[in-house]
């Protein structure tokens, strides 16, 4: 294909130059790796995978090999070739235009403050409740104080430059290696003490029902290889460091997920694994190797009692659970807030949100906005606890948390499009069979998007195994409408952002025309 000679939208405008002058380079190759581990490896879904039996492990391995690896190669090419600040937004904008970039980027960003206030606070609290409060809920006042510290400490670290923030991410990555490594050792020791009672070999056989139920959860745990590129111009050498960091993180992520899940399945009896309420409960059971016992009630509820020594070890692991949850939210906020701020100074959002701090080189206004949204979501999660309001709120919350997956429908094909429209652009890393990798990655995301709207489609749409609590089978069309309304609202807000950004660009051009370079 011939190289296009038409002007290509670029971030090299007066507004972009003004904000980029505030950026600070603090991001090296090791930082990229630790940041990715911190981004990709979470613990909120580990217990769920184990409760699904052997096929939970099987689908995890399949998704790592057939989704994480192909998508990582696509994103490595983009991150090494196009190193602008705000990478994921810039790639989509260069490939498909400002409007597509604005809409896609809003979906990419909005997930994270909602996830932080809606899920991660709960995950951290769950670890503390299990190990520090004998499984009893904290008072409302204590819960609110903890949530406020959790959310706004995250905002504070996001405001500080990568010179500080990268060390928090590094600590978070090391906490994952320590927590999941210790847990793996514990479950092996538990197996030697109590025997290995894992599922039969046949239980590892994948089924379509398991595919429908588990793949969206697994894929949500395996996206984020592009996130360091949100700070592309804060890296020492993005062209070399991004592919290297992604390659190492694929291996680390696969192991950090697979080993603990397999350990739970091989060591805990099936009835105990299926009775898990989450990863902290699995840790508590494994800690009985230091003293204590595990009791399974008639309803399947599993209770582990600990001795003073095993309780003390549990305090350390409970603190690590909270730290892992905190740093998961922090890295995503650090990255996605940058993409939103870049879109706003690039003409795809309100200019006032596209301001970076001259002192810290960070998007402080978007950081604060994320903290406000996280706080509002937490209040909603805490206060809306019953009735129809609760079930509708739950659907909207689940959708908002899952919109990151939808955003990859714009990010993945950008590499293929940019190869075709910019054939002479240098590619420090060139993904093999890019067309095939893109199609495979997109197919996984398209499936998950369909499942968001039509849960269980292909195995009983809105059946008992797929619909949220509180919903009846006859309410599937109401559910669909409840999903579509937030999607429409997100699109409308994103289009409004784009319109505000374009008005600002026109006003700027009237006052001070800026020459757009041709690439």
Would you list the DSSP string of 175-242? HHHHHHHHHHHHHHHHHHHH---PPPGGGGS--HHHHHHHHHHHHHTS--TTGGGGBGGGBS-HHHHH
* Ramachandran bin of 306, using left for φ above 0, alpha for ψ from -120 to 50, beta for the remaining angles: beta
Residue 319: which pLDDT band, with cuts at 50, 70 and 90?
very high
% of the chain residues with pLDDT over 70: 92
Confidence of residue 6 (pLDDT cuts 50, 70, 90): very low
Q: Which residues contact 306 (CB under 8 A, 6 or more apart)?
A: 284, 287, 288, 290, 291, 292, 314
Cβ atoms within 10 Å, residue 420: 11
Would you give the distance in Å from CA 271 to the centre of its chain?
30
Residues ≥6 apart with Cβ < 8 Å to 202: none
- Given a contact cutoff of 8 angstroms between Cβ atoms, the answer to whether 105 and 500 are in contact is no
Instruction: Decide which of 132 and 281 is more confident.
Output: 132
What pLDDT, on the 0 to 100 scale, is given for residue 35? 94
The mean per-residue pLDDT over the stretch 471-484 comes to: 90
pLDDT at position 272: 63
Q: Is the pLDDT of residue 244 over 50?
A: yes
* CA nearest to 380, candidates 122, 48, 82: 122
- Tell me the pLDDT band of 198, cut-offs 50, 70 and 90: confident
Confidence of residue 274 (pLDDT cuts 50, 70, 90): low
Task: Using the predicted structure, report yes or no on whether residue 467 has a pLDDT greater than 50.
Answer: yes
Give yes or no for residue 122 having a pLDDT over 50.
Answer: yes
Length of the chain in residues, anyone? 519
- Check residue 53 and give its pLDDT: 80
Distance (Å, rounded) from C-alpha 469 to C-alpha 451?
A: 16
Answer yes or no: is pLDDT of 154 > 80.
yes
pLDDT of residue 108: 96
Highest mean pLDDT (candidates 203-212, 386-395, 415-424): 415-424
CA 49/CA 362 separation, integer angstroms: 36
**pLDDT(506) > 70:** no
Q: Which residues, 6+ apart, have CB-to-CB distance to 53 below 8 Å?
A: 199, 203, 265, 270, 273, 274
Residue 517 has pLDDT above 50, yes or no: no
Mean pLDDT within 146-151: 96
% of the chain exceeding 90 in pLDDT: 56
Q: CB within 8 A of 136, min separation 6: which ones?
A: 129
Residue-wise pLDDT for 398-456, tens only, equals: 887 788 899 999 999 999 999 999 999 999 999 999 999 999 999 999 999 999 899 99
Q: Which residues contact 415 (CB under 8 A, 6 or more apart)?
A: 74, 75, 77, 78, 91, 431, 434, 438
Q: What is the DSSP letter of 362?
A: S
User: Which sign, positive or negative, has the C-alpha torsion 118, 218, 33, 71?
Assistant: negative
Sign of CA dihedral 144, 146, 150, 155: positive
Asked if 294 contacts 272 with a C-beta cutoff of 8 angstroms, the reply is yes
Distance of CA 130 to the CA centre of its chain: 24
**Spatial distance between the Cα atoms of 98 and 96, rounded to a whole number of angstroms:** 7
Q: Per-residue pLDDT tens for 125-148?
A: 989 998 998 888 899 999 999 999
Q: pLDDT band for position 21 (50/70/90)? A: confident
* Residue 11: pLDDT band with limits 50, 70, 90: very low
């Amino acid at each position: 294909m011939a190289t296009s000679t038409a002007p290509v939208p670029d971030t090299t405008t007066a507004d972009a130059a003004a904000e980029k002058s505030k950026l600070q380079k603090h991001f090296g190759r090791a930082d990229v790796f630790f940041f990715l581990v911190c981004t990709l490896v979470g613990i909120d879904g580990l217990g769920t995978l184990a409760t699904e039996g052997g096929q939970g492990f099987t689908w995890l391995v399949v998704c790592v090999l057939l989704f994480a690896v192909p998508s990582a190669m696509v994103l490595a090419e983009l991150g090494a070739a196009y190193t602008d600040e705000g990478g994921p937004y810039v790639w989509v904008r260069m490939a498909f235009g400002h409007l597509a970039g604005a809409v896609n980027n809003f979906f990419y960003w909005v997930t994270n403050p909602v996830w932080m206030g809606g899920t991660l606070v709960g995950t951290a609290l769950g670890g503390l409740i299990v190990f520090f409060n004998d499984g009893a809920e904290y008072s409302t006042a204590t819960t609110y104080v903890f949530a406020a510290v959790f959310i706004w400490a995250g905002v504070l670290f996001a405001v500080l430059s990568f010179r500080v923030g990268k060390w928090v991410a590094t600590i978070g990555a090391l906490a994952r290696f320590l927590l999941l490594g210790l847990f793996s050792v514990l479950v092996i020791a538990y197996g030697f003490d109590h025997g290995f009672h894992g599922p039969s070999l046949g239980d590892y056989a994948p089924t379509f029902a398991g595919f429908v139920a588990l793949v969206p959860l697994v894929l949500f745990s395996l996206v984020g290889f592009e996130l360091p590129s949100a700070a592309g111009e804060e890296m020492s050498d993005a062209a070399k460091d991004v592919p290297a960091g992604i390659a190492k993180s694929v291996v680390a992520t696969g192991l950090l997920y697979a080993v603990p899940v397999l350990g739970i399945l091989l060591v805990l009896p099936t009835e105990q694994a299926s009775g898990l309420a989450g990863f902290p409960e699995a840790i508590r059971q494994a800690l009985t190797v230091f003293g204590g016992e595990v009791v399974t009630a008639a309803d399947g509820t599993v209770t582990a009692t600990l001795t003073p020594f095993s309780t003390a070890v549990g305090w350390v692991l409970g603190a690590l659970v909270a730290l892992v949850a905190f740093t998961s939210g922090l890295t995503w906020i650090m990255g996605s807030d940058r993409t939103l701020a870049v879109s706003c100074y690039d003409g795809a959002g309100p200019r006032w949100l596209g301001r970076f701090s001259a002192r810290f080189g960070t998007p402080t206004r978007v950081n604060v906005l994320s903290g406000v949204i996280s706080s509002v979501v937490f209040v909603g999660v805490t206060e809306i606890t019953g009735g129809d309001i609760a079930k509708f709120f739950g659907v909207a919350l689940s959708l908002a948390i899952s919109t990151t997956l939808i955003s990859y429908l714009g990010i993945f094909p950008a590499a293929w499009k940019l190869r075709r429209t910019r054939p002479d652009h240098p590619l420090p890393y060139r993904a093999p069979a890019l067309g095939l990798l893109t199609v495979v990655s997109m197919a996984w995301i398209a499936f998950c998007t369909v499942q968001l709207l039509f849960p269980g489609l292909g195995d009983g749409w809105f059946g008992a195994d797929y619909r949220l609590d509180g919903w009846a089978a006859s309410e599937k069309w109401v559910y669909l409408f409840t999903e579509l309304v937030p999607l429409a609202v997100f699109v409308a807000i994103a289009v409004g952002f784009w319109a505000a950004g374009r008005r600002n660009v026109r006003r700027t051009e009237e006052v001070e025309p800026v020459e757009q370079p041709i690439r």
